[in-house]
Amino acid sequence: MKSNRKPCAECLRPTIAPYVPDLGDPRFIAGDICSIIEMTSTPIYLLLTGKVPPSRGASASNMSWGTTGFARWVRAQAESAGEGVSDEDEKGRPAVILGPTTMSGEVQVCLMATFDGTASLACLPPVLQHFCIPIYPHAEIRPDGPNHSHVTPNWPVQNTWLIALPFDCKMNQITGRWEDRRIGNPFGASYRLSPVELRRLEGLCSARRMRWDALVAHDAKLRERSLTEYKVHMKRAAERRKAERAAMKARRESIPKLPPTSTTRNTDHRHSEIQSQPRQAEQSTTTAIASGSALQGTAGPSDGTSAATPPRSPATKRSHMWSYAQIIKGFKPPAREPSPSNESTHSKTKSLMDVSILQAAKKILSSSTKTDASHT
C-alpha cells in the first residue's frame, strides 16, 4: 500500500552548511548538541525504577561530575555490575539541550547513542524500541517516514539513535559543545537541532511518554519485564564488546615484531656492499693489468726466436697486485725486494746480452781484417 505522506524535504536535501555558535557566549541554547559524561542506562532506569542505574550509585554524587575520575569510576562500577560501558560513556556522548539552565544548575537533555552500531530497531530491547528515534542518515529512515530527526548540519555518524526520554543533568557534566571537525569547517563549528526539529522532538517525547504510561496502566508487570529484558541486552552487549576488544588485542599481538637491530644490520649490510664495490673494481683492474703483462711477456726476442717467460713466484704476484691497488688509491707503490727467481732471470738475460755483444764484436773485427788485407 502506497503512503500518502510527502517525502521529507530534509532527506531529499540535507543541510551541509556549518553551524558556528557565538563563541563569546558560554551559555548553551535549546537545540545545541553538547558532549556530556553520562550513561545511556540513566534515562532507562529513571523511567523503570525511578532511580539512577546501580553503576552510577549514590556515591557518584560525592565526586566531581564531568571529570576523568568520575568516568573511570563509572567504568569500574559498570564492569563490576556486569553491564559494561562504551567508550562514549567514559569520554562523553552527544546530547541535545532541550531548555535553559534551571536555578539549581541543571538542564534537561536527550541522549544520543549508536548502541555499538545497531542499525535495526528490532535488535534493540522493547523499551528502547519504544523511545528511540533514528537520526538522519540511518538505515531505518524511509523518505516518507515521519518518526525521525535531522541535525544541522548533517550528522556525520550513520545509524545514530536519539533517546526520546528527557531527564535533568548537572551543568558540570557537560564538557562543551559537540565539535564539527570535518575538513573545511571554521573553528568552533558545532551541531544543533533547528527550531522546527526541536519542536518536533519535544512533541515526539511527549507522545511516546503518554503512550508508555498508557501501556503501564494496562500491564502492571511491564516495567519489571522491560527492566529484565534491558539488563539481558546490556549484559550481552558488554560481553560482545569485551570479546571484540580481546580479539583486537590478539590480532595486534599476533603481528610479528621486527627485531630492534634489524635496521642496524640492514645499514651494515648496505655499507659493506658499498665498500665492496671499490674492491671489486680494484681486483678487475689488477686482473686486466696482469693479463696485459702476461701477453707482453710472451713475445720472443728480436732475432725471431721464441723464449718462454719464466713464471712469477707467488710473492711477486702479490707484490705486483698490491702495488697497482695502492696506486689506484693514491698511495706510492711499495719498494719491492728482488726475489731469487728474479735474480736468476736477470743473470740469464745479462749473459745472453754479453754473448751477443761478443759475437757482434768478432764479426766487426773479422770484416775489418779482410778489408785491410785486400788493400795491401
Across the range 147-171, mean pLDDT stands at 93
Structural domain harbouring 104: 9-251
Longest dimension (CA), the chain: 171
**Is 80 exceeded by the pLDDT of residue 53?**
yes
**Pairwise CA distance, residues 251 & 254, whole Å:** 5
Residue 296 covered by a domain: no
Residue-wise pLDDT tens digits, 293-322: 444 444 444 444 444 455 555 544 444 444
**Is 80 exceeded by the pLDDT of residue 132?**
yes
Q: What pLDDT sits at residue 289?
A: 47
Please enumerate in sequence order all residues whose Cβ is within 8 A of that of 23, keeping only pairs 6 or more positions apart, or say none: 188
Q: What pLDDT sits at residue 123?
A: 93
**Is 70 exceeded by the pLDDT of residue 328?**
no
Residue 200 covered by a domain: yes
Q: What pLDDT sits at residue 218?
A: 95
How many Cβ atoms sit within 10 Å of the Cβ of residue 116?
12
Residue 355 covered by a domain: no
Among left, alpha and beta (phi > 0; psi -120 to 50; other), residue 31 is: left
Q: What pLDDT sits at residue 292?
A: 47
Residue 326 covered by a domain: no
**Is 70 exceeded by the pLDDT of residue 247?**
yes
Q: What pLDDT sits at residue 198?
A: 95
Number of domains in the chain: 1
**Pairwise CA distance, residues 58 & 61, whole Å:** 6
Residue 16 covered by a domain: yes
Residue 173 covered by a domain: yes
All three cell numbers of 88, joined, read 562514549
Scored b (16 or more CB within 10 A) or e, 85-109 reads bbebbbebbbbbbbbeeeeeeebbb
Within the chain, strands assigned E span: 33-36, 93-97, 106-113, 132-135, 160-163, 167-170, 174-177
**Is 50 exceeded by the pLDDT of residue 61?**
no
How many Cβ atoms sit within 10 Å of the Cβ of residue 76?
12
Q: Which residue has the higher pLDDT, 5 or 107?
A: 107
**Is residue 141 within 8 Å of 121, Cβ to Cβ?**
no
Residue 169's SS3 state is strand
Q: Which residue has the higher pLDDT, 201 or 90?
A: 201
Across the range 188-192, mean pLDDT stands at 94
Residue-wise pLDDT tens digits, 221-230: 999 999 999 9
Residue 313 covered by a domain: no
Q: What pLDDT sits at residue 245?
A: 87
**Is residue 28 within 8 Å of 174, Cβ to Cβ?**
yes
SS (H, E, C) 71-117: HHHHHHHHHHHCCCCCHHHHHCEEEEECCCCCCCCEEEEEEEECCCC
pLDDT confidence bin for 30, thresholds 50/70/90: very high
pLDDT confidence bin for 346, thresholds 50/70/90: low
pLDDT confidence bin for 250, thresholds 50/70/90: confident
Instruction: Give percent of the chain with pLDDT exceeding 70.
Output: 57
| Segment among 105-119, 147-161, 189-203, 261-275 with least mean pLDDT | 261-275
Please enumerate in sequence order all residues whose Cβ is within 8 A of that of 78, keeping only pairs 6 or more positions apart, or say none: 39, 55, 84, 85, 89, 238
Q: What pLDDT sits at residue 151?
A: 95
Q: What pLDDT sits at residue 88?
A: 47
Instruction: Give percent of the chain with pLDDT exceeding 90.
Output: 34
Q: Which residue has the higher pLDDT, 37 or 142?
A: 37
Q: What pLDDT sits at residue 145?
A: 61
Residue 362 covered by a domain: no
Quote the mean pLDDT of the chain.
74
Q: What pLDDT sits at residue 16?
A: 86
**Pairwise CA distance, residues 151 & 10, whole Å:** 10
pLDDT confidence bin for 199, thresholds 50/70/90: very high
Place of cell 541522549: 111
Q: What is the pTM of this model?
A: 0.60
**Is residue 169 within 8 Å of 39, Cβ to Cβ?**
no
Q: What pLDDT sits at residue 194?
A: 94
